[in-house]
Structures are given as C-alpha cells and as structure tokens.
Amino acid sequence: MTTPPVCNYEGSDYQTSFWEKGGREYEDRTEAIALKRLLPKSGRLLLELGAGAGRNTPRYLGFDRIVLLDYSRTQLEQAQQRLGKSDKYIYVAADVYRLPFVPGLFDAATMIRTLHHMADAPKALGQVKNVLDAGGVFILEFANKLNLKAIVRYLLGRQKWSPFTLKPVEFVKLNFDFHPKAVRNWLNDLGFTIEKTLTLSHFRMGFLKRIVPTSILVFFDSLFQWTGAWWQFTPSVFVRAKAKGGRRKDELPANPSLFFKCPDCSHSPLIDKKDYLECSNCHKTWGVRDGIFDFREPVIN
Ligand SMILES: [Zn+2]
C-alpha cells in the first residue's frame, strides 16, 4: 500500500529547541486559550493526532482517556516521561494515513500544528472522520497561507506563490500552508459541520515579541481570536468541526487492545498477545513495547 510521505520527528529535540528555548511562550499560551474555548468540557475518549512530546495533552484532562498518536516513537517516549504511564494515556505510533482504530471510536479528536506536514491533507482528514463517532468534535489547527505577511509580500512582488489560490503551498519540504476556504471545503465534503473558527498569532512578529510583554500580547490575541468568525488573515487558524449524525453511545471496551483494527487489512478485533497484537485475517503482528503500540511496520516473527 502506498501512502503519502510522512514528516518524521524521530530523535528530534523539537519540544526543547522550538517550544522551551525558542521564544514560543506567546504561541503556546494563545493555543491554550483557543483549546479552552473550543474543547468539550468532558468526554470519554479523545484522539490527539501529532501529539509529539505531549505539550498540549494536559489541556485535555476533562476526558476519561486520551490516545496520543505520533509517527515518531521517540516523541511518544518523551510524552511518557512527561505524563507518566497510566491507564489514562494510550500511546500509539502510527501513520495518519493508515489509522489503526475501529470506526467511530472517539468522541473527540485534536490535530494541532500537524496538518501543515500533510502532503495529502484531505486524505488525512478523511481518516480522522472515519474514527470519530457521529456527533464527535474535531479541533483542527492549520497554518494559513492567506496571512497578512504573505499577502503583503506577494503584492510587493517579493514572493512568487499567491496566497489567494486554494492550492496548498509547500514552503519548505513537507511543510504546507493552507487556504482557509480549502480546509472548509475538505471538512464539508467529508461530512463535518464547522461550528467555530478562531484566528491566532495576530502578533507573531519578532520585534513585537521583544518589546511588548507576552501577557499583553496574549491578552489582545485572545480578544482578536473571535474575529476568526468573519475573516482569517493570521498565520494560525483553529476550527471546531462536528461529525454529522447522532451519537451512538456504545460502551467503550475497558481493554484498549479492542480499540484497534489492522492498519493493513482493516480487520478487527486484533488478538492481544501481550507483546504484540495479531491480525487473524492477514496474520500480521503489531508490536507493543514499553507501553507504546506500534502500527508503523508489522513485527517480523
Ligand atoms: Zn490484517
């Protein structure tokens, strides 16, 4: 099966270099505010796509259980160190284009700063729709190509690509910016209803971040976030979308091994063999090591 290329953070010190030492306190705090405004207060099971080292995970504690998904195992190991091994967290290394979950499993999903690594964004969003229950909530953040800086640069002739077209722009390999209308179209076509849109990072400018105290920038950004309902010209946009249809309210299985399907042949349930999960249909086995389910490649027996 061929799937689009994946941006792999294996072995990356992204959490430290970008978030902790990279002067991103403003972005981190404005994201916390947006998530609070968009997330359901509580729920049973949330899927965090592109969880990385778990920076946002403590913001989802209203949910009974949280599945942290990332392509990079080392990012998940960092998340384990930060959050601890508990029944509340389920760590899954998997490819977003081949999600290993039974359909309709989750009542919520988040994808923050992750879509911008997707070469085939609609395909990834379709996978999310499949694993969300009807009525489930999806919080999506995307990088916006129609941002003020890009518009000004384009109009001054200092940038070749147009921010006004719907096509995603790949400005660095496997880093994409999207047009808000394109994202809305994809979500609508997949059967989502968009309920809220917030714009973030109105003041993502080096000189402002240096001279204005972060708390003041965060305060004004939090006010301006609501203007996302009318226009979106900031580099970062948050959308709250709901999967159409009524909720099923099935009981969740207590054993997380029953959450999964085979990412290769879609068969479920998989047989729990402690160190691995086995597909009784295609006979592939998927590793479970140190509390991390690994669905990237089958284990060779
Ligand atoms: Zn299989």
Gap from CA of 43 to ligand 1 centroid (Å): 30
Ligand 1 centre to CA of 278 (Å) is: 8
Banded model confidence at residue 7, pLDDT cuts 50, 70, 90: confident
In 3-state terms, what secondary structure has residue 227? helix
Residue 5 confidence (pLDDT):
84
Q: What are phi and psi of 127, to 5 degrees?
A: -65, -40
Distance 99 CA to ligand 1 centre (A): 13
What's the gap in Å between 130 CA and the centre of ligand 1?
18
Instruction: Compute, in angstroms, the gap from residue 41 CA to the centroid of ligand 1.
Output: 36
What lies within 8 Å, CB to CB, of 205 at 6+ separation is: none
pTM: 0.93
Q: Residue 277: its pLDDT value, please?
A: 97
| Residue 64 Cα to ligand 1 middle (Å) | 29
- Residues, beta carbon < 5 Å, ion ligand 1: 262, 264-265, 267, 279, 281-282
Q: What is the pLDDT of residue 102?
A: 95
Lowest-pLDDT choice from 164-173, 240-249, 258-267: 240-249
- For residue 282, the CA-to-ligand 1 centroid distance in Å is 4
Alpha carbon of 123 to ligand 1 centroid (Å)? 21
What mean pLDDT comes out for the span 165-170? 96
Distance CA 250, CA 254 (A): 12
Which tokens is 279 given? 């597909």
pLDDT at 301: 61
Q: Which long-range contacts (CB under 8 A, 24 or more apart) does 278-282 make?
A: none
Q: How far is the CA of 88 from the centre of ligand 1 (A)?
A: 27
pLDDT, one tens digit per residue, over 92-136 is 999 999 999 999 999 999 999 999 999 999 999 999 999 999 999
21-25, 117-121, 186-190, 282-286: range with lowest mean pLDDT: 21-25
Q: Could you tell me the distance, in angstroms and rounded to a whole number, from the CA of residue 266 to the centre of ligand 1?
A: 6
